């Protein structure tokens, strides 16, 4: 696997390292040892599947607060999506900054999201599916969110959402940085 650190310290774009032969290729899609060598939390307590029939579906931006902060390892297994993270670590030099990357079934690219980051995506094609592994159990009471178009974060999206849940459309705007 090839790890490329993003401008947000601790978040990585991860590309596969295919071993090809006349049948096609084999590649690791995850490896706890390779994560560990970079000091990344490779724990997995839950794996999620997200199916989105319509292009322009936006899910997020979500995170869980202490003590249920989670890392996420996200890939697109069908179609294409634009994956976005926001640094919510109070002591980070990039606190409040965001980063986005196109994950598609064709590029087989993945994104590692550290704890104390908000995460979300917008789909770029119909029939897009995301598969992501999470280091914590789902704790609905500890879930928090920031709104995709909150001027406090000024996230740059490739397009406006066409499909979004009421919950995600109504996260309050921040005047100060959220406490994780
Ligand atoms: C996350 C989650 C949700 N649910 C239930 C709760 C609702 O009844 C239903 C849909 O939940 P929600 O609208 O929060 O689903 P998404 O908007 O896709 O949320 C996810 O989207 C963004 C991209 C994320 O990064 C998070 O992993 C996750 O919050 O599934 C569960 O039962 N278990 C779970 O782990």
Q: CATH number of the domain at 126, please.
A: 2.60.120.10
What does the alpha-carbon distance between residue 130 and residue 104 come to, in Å, rounded to a whole number?
9
- CA 134 / ligand 1 centre spacing (Å): 12
| Maximum Cα–Cα distance across the chain | 57
- CA 160 / ligand 1 centre spacing (Å): 21
Q: Is 132 a catalytic residue?
A: yes
Pocket test for ligand 1, best of 61, 62, 121, 131 (most atoms within 8 A of CB): 62
Measured from the CA of 167, which atom of ligand 1 is nearest? Answer: 13
The answer to the question of residue 178 being in a domain is no
The DSSP code for 8 is: S
The answer to the question of residue 26 being in a domain is no
- CA 22 / ligand 1 centre spacing (Å): 39
The answer to the question of residue 27 being in a domain is no
Which is the catalytic residue, given 9, 62, 138, 174?
62
Q: Please state, in angstroms and as integers, the Cα–Cα distance from residue 87 to each residue in 45, 54, 92, 125, following that order.
A: 22, 28, 8, 26
The answer to the question of residue 97 being in a domain is yes
Q: Which residues of the chain have pLDDT under 50?
A: none
Which residues share a beta bridge with 123? 81
The answer to the question of residue 180 being in a domain is no
What does the alpha-carbon distance between residue 36 and residue 33 come to, in Å, rounded to a whole number?
5
The answer to the question of residue 68 being in a domain is yes
Question: Model-level pTM?
Answer: 0.96
Residue 174: the pLDDT is: 85
The answer to the question of residue 33 being in a domain is no
Q: Is 62 a catalytic residue?
A: yes
Count of domains for the chain: 1
State which residues form the domain around 163.
Answer: 2-17+38-169
Secondary structure class of 66 (helix, strand, coil): coil
Residue 177: the pLDDT is: 57
- CA 53 / ligand 1 centre spacing (Å): 16
Residue 179: the pLDDT is: 54
Residues within a 6 A CB radius of ligand 1: 48, 50, 59-60, 62, 72, 119-121, 138, 165
Q: Please state, in angstroms and as integers, the Cα–Cα distance from residue 7 to each residue in 33, 39, 65, 125, 137, following that order.
A: 23, 17, 23, 27, 28
């Amino acid at each position: 696997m090839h790890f490329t650190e993003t401008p947000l310290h601790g978040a990585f774009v991860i590309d596969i390292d295919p071993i090809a032969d006349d049948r096609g290729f084999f590649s690791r899609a995850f490896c706890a040892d390779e994560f560990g060598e970079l000091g990344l939390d490779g724990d997995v307590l839950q794996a999620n599947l997200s199916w989105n029939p319509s292009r322009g579906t936006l899910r997020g931006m979500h995170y869980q607060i202490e003590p249920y902060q989670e890392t996420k390892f996200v890939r697109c297994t069908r179609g294409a999506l634009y994956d976005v993270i926001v640094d919510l670590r109070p002591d980070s030099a990039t606190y409040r900054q965001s980063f986005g990357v196109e994950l598609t079934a064709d590029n087989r690219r993945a994104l590692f999201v550290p704890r104390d980051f908000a995460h979300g995506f917008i789909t770029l094609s119909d029939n897009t599916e995301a598969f992501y592994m999470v280091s914590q159990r789902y704790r609905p009471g500890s879930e928090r969110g920031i709104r995709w178009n909150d001027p406090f974060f000024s996230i740059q999206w490739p397009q406006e959402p066409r499909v979004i849940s009421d919950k995600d459309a109504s996260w309050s705007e921040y005047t100060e940085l959220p406490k994780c």
